[in-house]
Amino acid sequence: MNGSENGMDQISAHLDRGWSLIEQKSFRKAAFSARQVLDLDPESPDAYTLIGLAAMGEHDTEDALEAFDRARELDPDFLAPIVYSAEALGTDPERATEAIERLTEAYELVDPGSPEWVDAVLLHVDLLLIAGDDQSAMRKLGLVRPEMLTMRDQQMQAGKLAVQLDDLDLAEIALAPVIKQGDPPPDALYSLAQIAERRGDGPKAIGLSLQVRKAELALAEDASLPEPRLLAEVCQAVIYALDQHFLDVVDEAKVLVREVPPEELVADGVDPWIPLLLTGPPPDPRRKTDWTSRVTHVFVYRLNMRFESPHRDHWEARLSEYLTEAIERFVEHGG
């Protein structure tokens, strides 16, 4: 084997490892693998795309965009960095329009009706929803015919988007192949539960919600999730760091970590995907917002945490968001 072939084999090995690490959410290691590729080939668009994805995983949008732009400079016909740059921008609602502008460039590289075109359209719909343009989102989703949804991820995404747009018939059509294949993932079951609830079929919605819970428990352990004891410790630290008016509501609460909401709560209508649940005496009904309310227990549902990074600072930031939202709901509605 000559040196050139050996170098190509090394590049392929580093890239394969990098993609695998991205899937495992080991973003820093993935970036390291990508840089090893650049040591062998400084003009590898795949390596820069990996670096961009790793930066996305670490919530560093600007570094991600810089890497994706470099990948595009090296290969203007490379679709992936265009799509990923739109996804990176789409995490910020204020930049959704900018994300859409980037995504439109992808249509020049794909054939209408192809799987790549469908992926681009579904992302476009999602970005329009983030931007608050539901009418345009509905029109864009209408371009995708059910027979174009050839992949399971596309079927689930289309179903989810259709639910958001309240097109329940389209949602059921999109999700039907996923259900027919058997063992539908929690996201698909959750969409079906929303459809049943909006159609007024309470028993069906509850039954599907319980299936969501069972499907969650069957999922493999997420490497980015902290252990229960550590999660409780992080949550307590976040509580103590809250602004005073939020802290006053929860400062005496006991933090309890559970895997998912119990069946009896789901049967009572609690969202099976809720990350936090606060309990305590109900607020004064005479007040629109009762900041004198006091929470007695903070239930943290570990498998419902949406952590994109295995680092404590990210856990704290996300838990702070969850807690402030939950406290605002509690003082207004009692839970």
Q: Domain containing 255 — which CATH number?
A: 3.30.2010.20
Closest among 272, 258, 251 to 229, alpha carbons compared:
258
Answer whether residue 223 is part of any domain: no
Total residue count of the chain as it appears in this document: 335
Give the residue numbers spanning the domain of 280: 228-333
In terms of C-beta density within 10 A (0-12 exposed, 13-18 middle, 19 or more buried), how is residue 4 classed? Answer: exposed
Q: H/E element holding 272?
A: none
201 vs 197: CA distance, rounded Å: 6
Q: Which two tokens stand for residue 234?
A: 């992080």
Closest among 217, 177, 213 to 193, alpha carbons compared:
213
pLDDT per position as a tens digit, 237-275 = 999 999 898 898 898 899 999 988 887 887 787 887 788
181 vs 160: CA distance, rounded Å: 18
Answer whether residue 270 is part of any domain: yes
Number of other residues whose CB lies within 10 A of the CB of residue 39: 11
Q: What is the pLDDT of residue 19?
A: 94
170-173: list long-range contacts, CB under 8 Å, 24+ apart: 170/141, 170/146, 171/195, 173/146
Answer whether residue 50 is part of any domain: yes
241 vs 320: CA distance, rounded Å: 9
Same domain, 82 and 212: yes
Q: Which residues contact 95 (CB under 8 A, 6 or more apart)?
A: 89
Answer whether residue 65 is part of any domain: yes
* Strand arrangement of the beta sheet that strand 276-279 belongs to: 254-258, 297-301, 276-279
On whether the CB atoms of residues 250 and 278 are closer than 8 A, the answer is: yes
DSSP conformation class of 244: H
Same domain, 63 and 97: yes
> Three-class SS of residue 262?
coil
Same domain, 232 and 281: yes
- The count of domains in the chain is 2
108 vs 180: CA distance, rounded Å: 34
Q: Which two tokens stand for residue 308?
A: 């994109």
Q: Which of 156, 185, 218 is the last residue of a domain?
A: 218
Q: Which of 218, 238, 262 is the last residue of a domain?
A: 218
Same domain, 275 and 181: no
Answer whether residue 7 is part of any domain: yes
On whether the CB atoms of residues 156 and 188 are closer than 8 A, the answer is: yes
Q: What is the pLDDT of residue 146?
A: 93
Q: For strand 276-279 and strand 297-301, is the pairing parallel, antiparallel, or unpaired?
A: antiparallel
Q: What is the pLDDT of residue 1?
A: 44
Where the chain has pLDDT below 50, the residues are: 1-3
On whether the CB atoms of residues 257 and 302 are closer than 8 A, the answer is: yes
- From residue 136, how far is each of 116, 129, 133, 139, 306 by CA, in Å? 20, 9, 6, 5, 28
- From residue 78, how far is each of 33, 56, 181, 301 by CA, in Å? 20, 18, 33, 40
Q: Which residues pair with 166 in a beta bridge?
A: none
Same domain, 112 and 141: yes
Same domain, 206 and 81: yes
Q: Which residues pair with 46 in a beta bridge?
A: none
Same domain, 12 and 115: yes
Same domain, 186 and 76: yes
Answer whether residue 141 is part of any domain: yes
Same domain, 81 and 195: yes
Q: What is the pLDDT of residue 284?
A: 62
Average pLDDT along the chain: 89
Q: Which of 218, 242, 274 is the last residue of a domain?
A: 218
Model confidence pTM above 0.85: no
Q: What is the pLDDT of residue 3?
A: 46
